Structure 1
């Protein structure tokens, strides 16, 4: 049963801030659950020993990349295309885009699996994996990435629903999937009752089973016509223009998470030269950054259908206002967190260590990077809002600027005996630059001829 027409009208005409907050709340909850899954799985693997924990660290950036590309980048392209069609009152086009989005999700999932099942062991070896650690990483990733198709499907289907303005259903489903993954991961990895302990393979299997359940639910929801769009698999004819509508945003947007992961890998490698304590202090701060992303992500994803529908209806001035309001909300929220850890870094740092040396580095990182958090939130949220407008090149180039700065300046510091304080300052500078360049790109990029409300 389709939601009433009034639901779409509210996205086009209702006050921006309360509408945005209403849409963002379930998304933030779903993303926080994703973070909790990561914490739970790290706990399970930690119980298995040091080698499995090190192996997980090798695989984690590429697993994170799968999520970022399928949910945030290509998912944003799917949501944006569907919301623009609905904003233009072209429901048949939105229906057709749904089918093309599924084809893209299937294709991307198969390709991702093929890449990491074939070349994954070489990647882990390049990152320093050796002996038993490398063997654990290959076994774990072999199961995990065989399910990449399911990850792409669940995030594609969730993005379809978000594109219609329905945030509640995908968020509830993703929270349930996350809870199932936490339970299965623990039972299958550590064993319980008649279930034998399967180690890291059990964690990967729990992920695949829970994700498959989520995919089946979304397919049932769409096939039975529970939402505004209904999935019809008969008489489907692929159209180049429909693929282009999604890929002109999604494919370009996929460069952004690749740049983010590369920046993390480069910086981690450079900082490791300063010793274990400095790297551990950075790791504590980085854990906080991973909690900031869901907040900015949740607000940004909520802005996509609001911006897309406004663009589809020709109301470019409202689309731009949505983008700036979303960016300001994200900057404010992350700014509050940054202020807390800047003034009282031990509130966060002592959750993870009591080692005086590591605590010193962690405090140093939080005090240095905390003031830059609002710029990071501004940039990431504007990146999503730009997807709704179909103008994502500027924010992606801002990510390129950040990557070049981290790589170039980081290399320079490593060659001139840079201290941890210098490296941490570089992280903060990269966040500030990313936010400012993204904002400038949104400001100067034409979104079309605005009409008045």
Structure 2
């Protein structure tokens, strides 16, 4: 009982997000203090697609709707690749400056990452809005399904700047060791999405039923709430990170440094995104709308379980950055080993849960028997790997 009480107190401490000196004390405790909120943060990020999947999976044309959500998410994977790569670089540089006891430099570095993200986003959002229907057809969607999902994809592609801000500002908080703040912004976004999805998709009182388009609106509005919350705390920071308007001017030397750190991670995630996009296209082309819907259902559910593992990797990045900044190389190295051990245990548990609960999850997220059958097979194959 005392052990359970200790774990409860420790978890509350991690979720509060009070300032911690991560260059001293137990490495295991440091990993968990960061990993608990970071894993919950990434779980909340994956909730967006899962919530959309549930509600659109019960629409009249559910196979078209589920396929559209999945194919759009596959295209957005490129946005996530850039956002995650930049986030890793931002976390590392901010953490390094915090470890060197330079909070102002940490804040300035974080703002430069936002400039990069917004600049890159222009080349993604504009073509995405203009060619939404063509993108869906290029991904293997039928002409009927692409026409049905066009507006959903336009809204999602147009809101990529919000996704970029959400990722990058959270990276600033994580680098400063305030993983709880990053978690809270995703919780706000996800709770708003969960409330808005049934209202905007199915209608409620004077609010009309938008159907599939309602899912895109709910997701975009929910994420926007999270970004507003982030900016409030950036400008009113009480801990390591606090920004002022004068920081919002390009520093090309700092931008270059961030790009040099970020590009290997961006390419790493981009390669993975290319493989996911290729598979999504292949399944849609060979398996039709139902095959694509089943695959996308399985993929969204697996990502729900797998994204928290990236939260653990974020804990490692923060610990390594702050300890390198404090000139504690050996401690930084040991932080990686401890985090890897926790990740191995977590992924083993994910494999077992996915294998056992595949039928239950498939039936919960779709009312189409063929889609259910395909998603069960796909989940079990993915889990075994």
- Match for residue 327 of structure 2? 314
Cα offset for 1:242?
1.1
Partner of residue 243 from structure 1, selected from 250, 255, 261 = 255
* C-alpha spacing 1:17/1:188, structure 2 compared with 1 (3 Å): same
**Residue 106 of structure 1: how far off its partner (Å):** 2.1
- Contact 1:144/1:204 (<8 A) preserved: yes
Contact 1:190/1:197 (8 A) holds in 2: yes
Residues 76, 193 of structure 1: alpha-carbon distance in 2 compared, 3 angstrom cutoff: same
Distance in 2, matches of 1:143 and 1:296, equals: 29
Distance 1:286 1:239 in 2: 39
Match of residue 15 from structure 1: 26
Which of 49, 66, 69 aligns to 1:56? It is 69
Q: CA deviation at 1:28?
A: 1.4
CA drift at 1:68 = 4.4
Point out where structure 2 has 5 or more consecutive residues left out of the alignment.
1-17
Q: Deviations over 1:116-139 (max 9, x none)?
A: 123433321112223331122221
CA RMSD of aligned residues (A): 3.0
Tell me how far 1:335 sits from its aligned partner: 1.6
Going from structure 1 to structure 2, the CA distance change for 1:331 and 1:237 (only over 3 Å counts) comes to same
Distance 1:281 1:137 in 2: 17
**Distance in structure 2 (CA, Å) of the matches to 1:302 and 1:148:** 25
> SS of the counterpart of 1:352?
helix
The 8 Å contact of residues 53 and 297 in structure 2, kept in 1 or not, is answered as: no
Local SS of the residue matching 2:45: helix
Partner of residue 380, structure 1: none
Equivalence map 1:427-446=2 (5 Å): 428=385
Are 2:114 and 1:102 equivalent residues in the alignment?
Answer: yes
Q: Any conservation in 2 of the 1:100–1:243 contact (CA below 8 Å)?
A: yes
1:267 positional shift: 3.4
Q: Which residue of 1 aligns with 2:7?
A: none
**1:221-244 deviation per Cα after TM superposition (whole angstroms, max 9, x unaligned):** 111233312111127553222112
The CA deviation at 1:195 is: 0.4
1:139 corresponds to which residue?
151
2:172: which partner in 1?
Answer: 160
Indicate yes or no: 2:191 matched with 1:186: no
**2:336 is aligned with 1:323:** yes
Offset at 1:158?
1.2
Matched, 1:347 2:375: no
On the 8 A contact 1:58/1:137 being kept in 2, the answer is: no
Query: What is the deviation of 1:41?
Result: 0.9
1:288 CA displacement: 4.8
Deviations 1:199-236 (A, max 9, x none): 22222122222222221211111112333121111275
Distance 1:80 1:194, change over 3 A: same
Cα offsets for 1:236-291 (capped at 9, x unmatched): 55322211232222233122232222212333455678867987876665455313
| C-alpha contact 2:91 2:175 (8 A) present in aligned 1 | yes
Summarize deviations over 1:339-376 as a string: whole Å, max 9, x none. 455xxx3433343259799769946973x6545xxxxx
Residues in 2 aligned to 1:118 and 1:260: alpha-carbon distance in whole angstroms: 26
Aligned length: 361
Taking the aligned partners of 1:143 and 1:285, their CA distance within structure 2 comes to: 24
Stretch of structure 1 that moved more, 145-154 or 121-130: 121-130
2:308 corresponds to 1:265: no
Poorly superposed stretches of 4+, deviation over 4 Å? 268-285, 353-365, 368-371
1:41/1:186 contact within 8 Å kept: no
- Partner residue of 1:28? 39
Gaps of 5+ in 1: 1-5, 372-427, 429-453
Compute the TM-score of the two structures, normalised by the length of structure 1. 0.71
Task: Please report how far the alpha carbon of residue 15 of structure 1 lies from its aligned counterpart in structure 2 after TM superposition.
Answer: 1.3
Q: Greater Rg, structure 1 or structure 2?
A: 1
